[in-house]
A and B are shown apart, each in its own frame.
Chain A
Amino acid sequence: MRLAHQFAMENDQITADCVEATQFQELASMHGVYSVPRTVVNGKGFLEGSLPETHFLEGILKAADPDANPPN
């Protein structure tokens, strides 16, 4: 969650929710959450596990727009 909230601070377009899966079980199963942490991106793409900063960034961008070219 730390990276997600850090990302949210860099751009007003970015929002970060930390969702406790056992308290919101329906929402978790709707997003196919079986292991945590899982980061759901724009309600559809996702990223599993805790990742270091650059991997998280790449993973998020790819999950947000699978057809886009990778940055730089």
Chain B
Amino acid sequence: MIQDEQKKEIQEILAQMEAPVKLVHFTQEINVEFAREGRKLLEELSEISDKLSLEVYNLQIDREKAAEWGIDKVPATAIVGGGGVGGDGAGDNEKDYGIRFYGAPMGYEFSSLLDAIVSVSKGDSGLASETRETLQKLTEPLHLMVFVTPT
């Protein structure tokens, strides 16, 4: 799914990664548009960098996992900081910032996904200090849902 020229560009973007990042992907075998494409795309993406890993779960079969990650619709991908120690990202070093991508990440969503991977990998939002201060003071839940299209 990822062409060679694209692969090179992606490699350059992912070269900015610092700590490992885990993609936790939920999918379903039937009745979901682009489920296979989405999974294949993420499999190919995770092969491009050895700091990027992928776990795939099925919404129906892995209901407990889905509940643990707050997933109620698929395809869905959580971008999780995997911690700095080697090995396969056990729970202790994980950092879930609450970042989710819904839908097979094509087009615009794909470049947002790469951005998110790099930010999570750096463990730094890159925001201005005044913005950080304001956000850090919030005590009530704030759920942002950004609707996008592929083009």
Contacts and interface: CB of A to CB of B under 8 A. Distances in A.
Interface of A: 1-2, 4-24, 27-28, 31, 33, 36-43, 53-54, 57, 60-61, 64, 71
Contact of B128 (A17, A43, A53): A53
B127 A15 contact: no
Nearest to B117: A5
Contacts of B128: 53-54
B131 A13 contact: no
Contacts of B106: 20
A14 B100 contact: no
Secondary structure class of chain A's binding surface, majority of residues: mixed
Interface stretch (B41-49, B54-62, B83-91, B138-146): B138-146
B106 to A, nearest CB: 8
B115 A5 contact: yes
Given A10-B132, A19-B103, A37 B144 contact: no
A68 to B, nearest CB: 10
A22 B149 contact: yes
A36 B147 contact: yes
A67 to B, nearest CB: 13
Given A1-B109, A53-B131, A28 B147 contact: yes
Interface string B101-131: 1111110010011011001100111111011
Given A20-B103, A20-B104, A23-B34, A15 B147 contact: no
